[in-house]
Amino acid sequence: MVGAGFAGVAMARRLAAADESFVVLERRPGIGGTWHDNRYPGVACDVPAHLYGYSDIAHPGFSRVFAPGSEILEYLQDAAAPVADRIMLSTRLESADWDGSGWRLTTSRGPVEAEVLVMAAGRLTEPRLPEVPGTFDGPVVHTARWDDDLDLDGARVAVVGTGASGVQIVPELARRAESVVVLQRSAPFILPKGDRAYAEAEIALFERQPDRLAGLRADLMRETEEVFAQRAGDGRAEARARALDHLAAQVPDPVLRAALTPDHEFGCKRVLFSDDFYSTLRMPHVRHVSGALTAYEPGAVIAADRSRHEVDVVVAATGFHTTRQPYAELITGRDGISLDQYWSQGMRAYASTAVHGFPNLFVLDGPNATLAHNSAVLMIEAQADYVASALPWTAHGPLEVSAEAEQRYIDELQERSTVWTSGCHNWYVDERSGRQVLLWPGKAQEFRDRFGCFDPAPFGVVESTGA
């Protein structure tokens, strides 16, 4: 298996429970995946902490309704402790080739052979940096590659981007920097987050009464599933109104409010949550610029409106390469083509997990396997259960999903994804094909009911040809 984030740890725990022989390759020096990488000031989850965790590992000690990133990382490290001896840290996958009967891997530590390959490498792993002319002579740091030694006290800082990481980091930087200029390509819809610290008495109650914490998780699950209609269904108009009311309440200046008003349909792009982003933009030492970064100069950034801003540090909150995953170039399937080549018109996988032409390969948290309204961990757990229940079938020979089953699934997803494929440009859609390739276009419970257990019907057993 490749990857030791939420998906990899969930899968490893199930494999260990089934007494399977396995090893996990993790390129980072530590466990945690995206929560290992993202440690910028203000990083936190936008899903309630007691839902953003494994269903069988409660953690009563979360300090806030929306946990800081450091607490999520600690939670994952604790969850991984029983399988830590199976995880090879600082080990990079260099290639994986199907040899007719199994997978031959080359890694930075040498060769590995496996009957089954599980990719749990995530989706948001390769930062997208601005590609603009000119040279900036100070630090340029992406939020997912944060420099802990970066001195921001009294600095003049430019923040490029107002996506999920941007709205989290801007308020934190404004508390420390001499000045902050925020360059925004397009305005997002932002809903109030409603975050708060848990009182010590609440945490103590969760510790003493596990049933109360389980009840809270069940309530959160029900409430977030109801949000689906606000992202892709009939409730979008109401949710849009709430977001615009939040903007109006926090930004009385009509000029700034107009600049912060989205020009796309609600739900077409990722909807964000913040209690203090808008109010931060009203601070006297913070400036909002409606326009993307267009060029660097020594000691300055140039925006699309041709304004020039002298800064000491550039923080790129510019997201990731999402629709093309770097690991796909490393995996070669049954017909001698790479996964990247097979995905040349967009990522695809039956049940968001199995890929035609790639026997005994399972991809977790990959094509159409995340959510716009609920905890991605719910999807990850279902996929891990799916793979665990598939493994006994490999005793009869390598498994490969049929091309027909895969195509029917892709057609269904495309038909259900119109909210994301029309009306705006977003990072869910593969520009090469126009297909939405990242989100599951339904409720989490539907996916768990359909794909929480392996069904061999869409699969065939591949005749083993040997090495």
The model's pTM is 0.95
In angstroms, the CA 181 to CA 174 distance is 10
pLDDT tens for residues 84-132? 999 999 999 999 999 999 999 999 999 999 999 999 999 888 999 999 9
- Residue indicated by tokens 């083509």: 337
Asked whether this chain's domains 6-126+322-461 and 140-188+227-316 adopt the same fold, the reply is yes
d(CA 137, CA 135) in angstroms, rounded, equals 6
Note the pLDDT of residue 460. Answer: 85
Q: Which residues contact 6 (CB under 8 A, 6 or more apart)?
A: 33, 76, 365, 376, 377, 380
CATH code of the region 6-126+322-461: 3.50.50.60
Specify the fold of 140-188+227-316. FAD/NAD(P)-binding domain (3.50.50)
Q: What share of the chain is helix, strand, coil (3-state, %, to 5)?
A: 35, 20, 45
If we measure between CA atoms, which residue out of 232, 195, 238, 166 comes closest to residue 46? Answer: 195
Q: How many CA atoms within 13 Å lie on the side-chain side of 28?
A: 18
Check if the beta carbon of residue 161 is closer than 8 Å to that of residue 269.
no
pLDDT of residue 461: 73
Answer for the pair 132, 293: CB distance below 8 angstroms, yes or no.
yes
Taking only the tens place, the pLDDT of each residue in 123-133 is 888 999 999 99
Q: Can you list the pairs that 427-434 forms with residues at least 24 positions away whose Cβ atoms lie under 8 Å?
A: 427/270, 427/319, 427/320, 427/322, 427/323, 428/322, 428/323, 429/323, 430/323, 430/324, 430/345, 430/346, 430/347, 431/323, 432/344, 432/345, 432/346, 433/345, 433/346
- What is the pLDDT at residue 467? 47
pLDDT of residue 271: 95
CB distance 96 to 117 below 8 Å:
yes
Q: How confident is the model over 189-204, as pLDDT tens digits?
A: 999 999 999 999 999 9
Q: Angle at CA 352, nearest 5°, toward 347 and 355? A: 65
Q: Supply the pLDDT for residue 234.
A: 81
Output the pLDDT for position 185. Answer: 95
CA distance linking residue 419 with residue 265, whole number of Å: 8
Residues of the chain under the 70 pLDDT cut: 463-467
pLDDT value at residue 464: 62
Contact 131, 329 (CB under 8 A): no
| Other CB atoms within 10 A of residue 357 CB | 18
How far is the C-alpha of 237 from the C-alpha of 253, rounded, in Å? 24
Helix or strand holding residue 412 (H, E):
helix 403-415
| Residue carrying the six token digits 């040498």 | 110
Q: Are 103 and 96 in contact (CB under 8 A)?
A: yes
Judge whether 77 and 250 are in contact, CB under 8 Å. no
Report the SS3 class of residue 220. helix
Task: Give the CA dihedral 405, 410, 412, 417, nearest 10 degrees.
Answer: 170
**Domains of the chain, residue spans:** 6-126+322-461, 140-188+227-316
Supply the pLDDT for residue 459.
96
